[in-house]
Structure 1
Amino acid sequence: MPEIQRVLPKYMQIANYLRDQILRGDLRPGDEVPSERQIVADWSVARPTAARALEALRRQGFVESRQGSGSYVREGMRPNRLARERYSRARETGKIYPSNERAEIVAAGYSPAPEAAATALGIAVGADAVRRQRVIYADDHPVEISTAWYAHPIGELAPKLLVRERIRAGTLVYVEQSTGRQARYARDEMSARMATSEERDRLNLSDPSAVLLVRHVVYDGEDRPFEFTEAVYPPNRWAFEATYPVF
């Protein structure tokens, strides 16, 4: 029989929590991270546990120490946000982007669903579906092209999806509120391919350039898909990170 996984050590749980804050943009390059004393107070752990958590983040390349000052998010960190980071930030803060990021909605309306979107949503290829595309900027540099697709009925229940204006709380929260369907889990598939001419133009890439492609499907509590997104990232940025035990 499969064994239940052991819980991560306390120091790693603390390190993962701080790492997630960095990936979400709550802690930005140059920001000071909690000190050992603060971690001890917040997490009710011993000083060596707090010290080991910060050391793990240093060894993983997320933070750097400054003599006599403390620990800071490493300068030059340029992580992209995957959907999971944006979802958690939106639910906790009501805002999907940190202060140095913004999104420009470049397309919104009904379009024929391509094969990947149709397969993911369980609709016919070429059927009218909601298409909503945005370009995301970090520090005024384009870092992601994201194209979300929804089945036609969702557009009738959530008409803001059809308008080229930002939805401040995030599209998923808005779709949940509009349809009464709640997101329960999501699945990501990641691959790489050559950038299209449109992608090169929007991301300021040379020809040829490779891009990272993330296909993201959101499911409700009845395992029904209701959002499919293709996100394209430039080659000079990384878009995901995971720390996990090896048994």
Structure 2
Amino acid sequence: MPEIEEVLPKYLQISGYIRNQIERGELAPGAEVPSERELAASWHVARPTAARALNELRQRGIVESRRGSGTYVVDRSALPAARERGDRARQYGSAYSENASVTVLEAGMVDGPVWVREGLAVAVDGSVLVRKRLVSNDSGVAELATSWFSAALAEIAPRLLDAERLPGGTVGYLESVTDHRVSYARDRVSARLATADERRHFDLPRPAAVLVYRLALHEADDAVLQFDEVVYPSDRWEFQQEYSTRS
């Protein structure tokens, strides 16, 4: 077992080590992860620190806890497609495949939604930086994606204001030019009626339902670095999961 380094918080070093084991295949899908007690003993840390490391992995959707049993590696092939999109953004810095056609519709300063300003800790009368993209594939227009950032990033990451696709994605770009690093993410999926703008882009009738996927990318101190809201036409998107029914 490696020794604790002082570069990162201890819980992040532990969670990173376990994550690397999973990525290398040393811990396969369904394999049990060391318990809080085992991690605390082997890494010479307090149990709350070990618990926080496991919680970090749970928040990332990498492991899951089973009551009365333990913590196990999640089978990534059984994750919803929207969660896979978030995984790509966190792992590769871009939520889109290289062959996707991405058109930047807007890049600039705006008054963002209340939930975005609150999450970014922006004053009520403050502006946020927005990037809005239309993503198409072989089947046509696939999604309408909007990302919000703190306005303070405009000065240190000016390419966010460019109306063109960023190689490596916004996360990759931000981490290459700033000290900001994504530590974990939270997402939420819901459905609602399409707005007039969404109906126009997706060529939908009125009324029409859309699927809305929100992703918040957090830094280690829990601050939100980037908010994403991705809208999908309901007739071109669905969830599919396979899982065991055995207890």
Q: Do the two structures share a fold, i.e. TM-score over 0.5?
A: yes
Q: Which residue matches 2:213? A: 214
Please say if residues 213 and 231 of structure 1, whose CA atoms lie closer than 8 Å, have aligned partners that are also in contact: yes
Aligned residues: 180
Q: Which residue matches 1:167? A: 166
RMSD between superposed Cα atoms in Å = 2.8
- Match of 1:5, SS? strand
Q: Whole-Å Cα distance in 2 between the matches of residues 113 and 125 of structure 1?
A: 10
**Which one of 71, 93, 106 corresponds to residue 5 of structure 1?**
71
**Which one of 84, 87, 109 corresponds to residue 84 of structure 1?**
87
* Residue 86 (structure 1) shift: 3.8
- Match of 1:82, SS? helix
Runs of 4+ in structure 1 deviating by more than 4 angstroms, as ranges, are 239-247
Please say if residues 82 and 239 of structure 1, whose CA atoms lie closer than 8 Å, have aligned partners that are also in contact: no
Give TM-score scaled by structure 1 length.
Answer: 0.64
* Residue 5 (structure 1) shift: 2.5
Change (3 A) 1:198 1:128: same
Q: What is the correspondence of 1:10-29 to structure 2 with a 5 Å cutoff? A: 13=75, 16=76
Please say if residues 86 and 95 of structure 2, whose CA atoms lie closer than 8 Å, have aligned partners that are also in contact: no
Please say if residues 113 and 126 of structure 1, whose CA atoms lie closer than 8 Å, have aligned partners that are also in contact: no
Could you give the per-residue CA deviations for residues 48-75 of structure 1, whole angstroms, max 9, x where no partner exists? xxxxxxxxxxxxxxxxxxxxxxxxxxxx
Gaps of 5+ in 1: 24-78
Q: Whole-Å Cα distance in 2 between the matches of residues 122 and 245 of structure 1?
A: 42
Q: What is the correspondence of 1:43-192 to structure 2 with a 5 Å cutoff? A: 82-88=85-91, 90=92, 97-139=96-138, 141-192=140-191
Please say if residues 114 and 125 of structure 1, whose CA atoms lie closer than 8 Å, have aligned partners that are also in contact: no
* Residue 224 (structure 1) shift: 1.0
- Match of 2:210, SS? strand
The percentage of counterpart residues that share the same residue type is 30
Q: Whole-Å Cα distance in 1 between the matches of residues 136 and 123 of structure 2?
A: 33
* Residue 144 (structure 1) shift: 0.7
Could you give the per-residue CA deviations for residues 92-141 of structure 1, whole angstroms, max 9, x where no partner exists? xxx75335412100000111122121122121234111011001101161
Gaps of 5+ in 2: 1-66
